């Protein structure tokens, strides 16, 4: 069983449609693929149809933008009820924060003499419902300012960069509670990637476990071997599940090929069990 529980489609900042992503996952030999677009479930329906067409199981999820003690933390939510009013309100607020930030980033770029207009952004952002920095990065590539997304982050969009603008993110502990209340299973994505190690020490993680956190995405390319070993130990001590995933973004993120990191079958079973026990009306698609 090959199980990859964290990928993005063009509904957020991946480059493949949900259909193409699910087809590619089946072609890569995966048995289960998680669709975890940032802050939205808008790709789920299309992915469900594709799961049936291509004979693969799709684990529906969301990667929610949260903040914990000042640091950005991405929270994966598996199998939550996508009609849960409180969860939807939280996602709406995050998307509204994105929509306020985007024009501010474009204005910063124009101050730097780069012709970054809303119209040009719309062309590269395509069908996304959650505009993010990767789309602005794609615009900078299109305008010939940088060669790729990574260079756009390094030169302009990373925290502290000349076109960086902060945005609203939901409180992590509160969001863990919201996900569980919606029947879902919360797992912290790449917990020690990009500066969140400071706020996610064993004590902090114990508190989050008490709030309902179910697992840690230990096997992720953002973590080296030493970090993985340490995180695995913490997860064992706290009784947290350990997942692994590619965080595939199509052509948008180099090296994150589908299935490059995987989750054990018993962990995927445990996630589905927890969703059932949390009262989720959602089960995996296809298969």
| C-alpha to C-alpha distance for 100 and 167, rounded to whole angstroms | 8
Placement of tokens 């693969």 in the chain: 56
How open is the CA angle 150-151-155, to the nearest 5 degrees? 125
Task: Write the CB contacts of 237 (distance below 8 Å, at least 6 apart in sequence).
Answer: 202
**Is residue 74 a contact point for Fe ion (CB under 5 A)?**
yes
Beta carbon nearer to Zn ion, 13 or 261: 13
Report, in Å, the least distance between residue 74 CB and Zn ion: 8
Q: Is 132 in the site for ligand AMP (CB under 6 A)?
A: yes
Residue 133 binds ligand AMP (CB under 6 A):
yes
The DSSP string of 180-213 is HHTT-EEEESSTTSTT-GGG-SHHHHHHHHHTT-
- Please tell me whether residue 150 binds ligand AMP under the rule CB under 6 A: yes
Q: In angstroms, give the least distance from the CB of 74 to Fe ion.
A: 4
Q: Draw the binding track, 5-44, toward Zn ion (x: CB under 5 A; -: no contact).
A: ---x----x-------------------------------
Q: How far is the CB of 119 from Fe ion (least distance, A)?
A: 28
Q: Which stretch binds ligand AMP (CB under 6 A): 108-116, 127-135, 198-206, 271-279?
A: 127-135
Which residue lies nearer to ligand AMP by CB, 39 or 81?
Answer: 39
Closest CA to 36 of 67, 56, 66, 8: 8
With CA atoms as reference, report the closest residue to 20 among 36, 2, 43: 43
Q: Which residue is nearest to Zn ion (CB)?
A: 13
261 and 245 in contact (C-beta within 8 Å)?
yes
> Which spans of this chain sit near Zn ion (rule: CB under 5 A)?
8, 13
Give the binding site for Fe ion (CB under 5 A): 63, 74, 189, 247
């Amino acid at each position: 069983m090959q199980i990859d529980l964290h990928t993005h489609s063009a509904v957020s900042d991946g480059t493949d449609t949900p259909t193409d992503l699910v087809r590619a996952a089946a072609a890569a030999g995966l048995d289960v693929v998680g669709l975890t677009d940032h802050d939205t479930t808008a790709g789920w329906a299309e992915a469900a149809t594709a799961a049936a067409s291509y004979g693969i199981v799709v684990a529906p999820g969301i990667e929610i933008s949260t903040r914990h003690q000042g640091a950005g933390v991405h929270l994966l939510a598996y199998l939550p009820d996508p009609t849960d009013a409180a969860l939807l309100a939280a996602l709406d607020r995050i998307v509204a924060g994105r929509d306020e930030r985007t024009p501010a980033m474009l204005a910063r770029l124009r101050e730097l003499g780069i012709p970054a207009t809303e119209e040009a952004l719309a062309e590269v952002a395509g069908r996304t419902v959650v505009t993010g920095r990767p789309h602005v990065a794609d615009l900078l590539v299109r305008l010939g300012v940088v060669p790729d997304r990574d260079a756009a982050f390094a030169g302009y969009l990373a925290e502290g960069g000349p076109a960086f603008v902060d945005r609203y993110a939901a409180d992590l502990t509160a969001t863990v509670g919201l996900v569980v209340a919606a029947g879902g299973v919360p797992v912290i994505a790449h917990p020690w990637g990009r500066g969140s190690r400071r706020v996610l020490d064993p004590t902090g993680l114990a508190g989050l476990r008490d709030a309902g956190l179910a697992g840690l995405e230990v096997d992720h390319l953002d973590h080296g071997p030493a970090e993985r070993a340490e995180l695995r130990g913490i997860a064992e001590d706290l009784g947290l599940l350990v997942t692994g995933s590619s965080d595939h973004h199509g052509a948008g993120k180099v090296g994150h090929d589908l299935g490059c990191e995987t989750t054990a079958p018993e962990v995927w079973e445990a996630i589905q069990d927890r969703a059932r026990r949390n009262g989720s009306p959602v089960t995996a698609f296809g298969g």
